[in-house]
């Protein structure tokens, strides 16, 4: 019978959270999403905050001049 390993695994290395995406200048859709995100954060609805971040990150792809 072999003896069990008693050593610990090394610590997990976590990175800092990403900076939330910002709205594209002059885009009403981006501005509305940013406003919704701020309201959701104020209400403690972090799921909605995440949803807005995903939409904001994807939406500027429709603004080729902003990339």
Q: 29-56 pLDDT, tens per residue?
A: 999 999 999 999 999 999 999 999 999 9
Report whether pLDDT(64) > 90: no
Share of residues in the chain with pLDDT > 70 (%): 84
CA angle centred on 30, ends 25 and 35, rounded to 5°: 110
27-40 burial, b at 16+ Cβ within 10 Å, e below that, comes to beebeebbebbeeb
Q: What is the C-alpha to C-alpha distance for residues 10 and 48, in angstroms, rounded to an integer?
A: 34
Gap between the Cα atoms of 57 and 18, Å rounded: 12
Question: What confidence score (pLDDT) does residue 46 get?
Answer: 95
């Amino acid at each position: 019978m072999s003896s069990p390993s008693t050593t610990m695994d090394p610590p997990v290395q976590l990175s800092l959270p990403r900076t939330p995406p910002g709205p594209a200048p002059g885009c009403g859709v981006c501005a509305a999403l940013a406003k919704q995100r701020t309201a959701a954060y104020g209400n403690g609805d972090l799921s909605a905050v995440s949803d807005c971040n995903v939409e904001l990150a994807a939406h500027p792809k429709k603004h080729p001049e902003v990339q």
